[in-house]
Amino acid sequence: MKKITFLLILFITNLGFAQPSTSPAAPTNNAADVVSIYGDTYTNIANNYDPNWGQSGHTQVNPMFDPGNGELLLAYPNFNYQGTELTATNVSSMEFLHVDIWTSATPGATDIQVSPINNGSGAGETLVSITYTSGAWTSVDIPKSAFTGMTWDSVFQMKFAANGPGSTVPVDIYLDNVYFWKNPTVAGADATLSAIEIDNAPLSNFSSGVFSYNVDLPSGTTTVPQITLATATDSNAMVVINQATALPGDATINVTSMNGMSNETYTISFAAVGPSMGAATPPNRVPADVISIFSDAYSDIAVDTFNTNWCPGNTSDVTIAGEAMKRVDGLGCEGVDWQGARTIDASGFTNFHMDIYIEEPNLVGKEINLKFSQWGGTAGEVSAFQLQIGDGAGAAQTLVNGWNVIDVVIDAAFTGDTTRNDIVQFIITSNVSTIWYDNLYLHKNTTASVSDFSAAPFKVYPNPAVSGWTISSTDTILHSVQVYDLSGKLVLTQDADSTSVLINSDTLSNGVYIAKVTSAQGSQNLKLVKN
**382 — alpha (psi -120 to 50), left (phi > 0) or beta?**
alpha
**Mean pLDDT score of the chain:** 86
- What is the average pLDDT across 419-423? 96
φ/ψ of residue 516, rounded to 5:
-100, 120
Look at the domain 455-530 and name its fold. Answer: Immunoglobulin-like (2.60.40)
Write out pLDDT tens, residues 480-530: 788 877 666 778 888 877 888 888 888 888 888 888 787 766 567 788 888
- CATH for 193-273 is 2.60.40
- Give yes or no for residue 385 having a pLDDT over 80: yes
- As a whole-number percent, the residues of the chain with pLDDT over 70 amount to 92
Question: Sign of dihedral through CA atoms 101, 102, 104, 106?
Answer: positive
- For the domain 20-181, what is the CATH superfamily, name and number? Galactose-binding domain-like (2.60.120.260)
Question: With 60 as the cut, is the pLDDT of residue 452 above it?
Answer: no
Q: Is the pLDDT of residue 315 over 80?
A: yes
Report the topology of domain 287-443: Jelly Rolls (2.60.120)
Q: Which of 239-248, 260-269, 437-446, 490-499 has the lowest mean pLDDT?
A: 490-499
Residue 186 φ then ψ, to 5°: -65, 140
CB 249 within 8 Å of CB 217:
no
Query: Residues 170, 162: contact at Cβ < 8 Å?
Result: yes
First and final C-alpha spacing in the chain: 89
Residue 32 C-beta-side C-alpha neighbours within 13 Å: 13
Helix (H, G, I), strand (E, B), or coil: what is residue 68?
coil
pTM value is 0.57
What value does the mean pLDDT take over residues 52-63?
73
What distance in Å separates the CA atoms of residue 246 and residue 52, rounded to the nearest whole number?
A: 41
User: How many other CB atoms are found less than 10 A from the CB of residue 321?
Assistant: 17
- The model's confidence at residue 214, banded by pLDDT at 50, 70 and 90, is confident
Q: Whose CA is closest to 214, among 224, 223, 204?
A: 204
So what's the pLDDT on residue 463?
82
Closest by Cα among 375, 333, 373, 368 to 354: 368
Model confidence over 59-101: pLDDT tens digits?
679 999 999 998 999 999 988 889 898 888 889 889 999 999 9
Poorest-pLDDT segment among 13-22, 184-193, 229-238, 405-414: 13-22
> What Rg, from alpha-carbon coordinates, does the chain have?
28
Q: What are the CA-CA distances from residue 281 to residues 144, 277, 462 (Å)?
A: 52, 11, 18
Task: Show me where the domains of the chain are located.
Answer: 20-181, 193-273, 287-443, 455-530
Does this chain's domain 20-181 share its CATH topology with 455-530? no
* Percentage of the chain lying above the pLDDT 90 cut: 50
- Closest-CA residue to 404 (of 353, 441, 442): 353
Query: Is residue 11 pLDDT above 70, yes or no?
Result: no
**CB 372 within 8 Å of CB 426:** yes
Q: Which one-letter amino acid corresponds to residue 337?
A: D
Q: How far is CA 424 from CA 327, 376, 377, in A?
A: 21, 9, 10
Instruction: Tell me the torsion sign for CA atoms 278, 280, 285, 289.
Output: negative
With a cut of 80, say whether residue 392 has pLDDT above it.
no
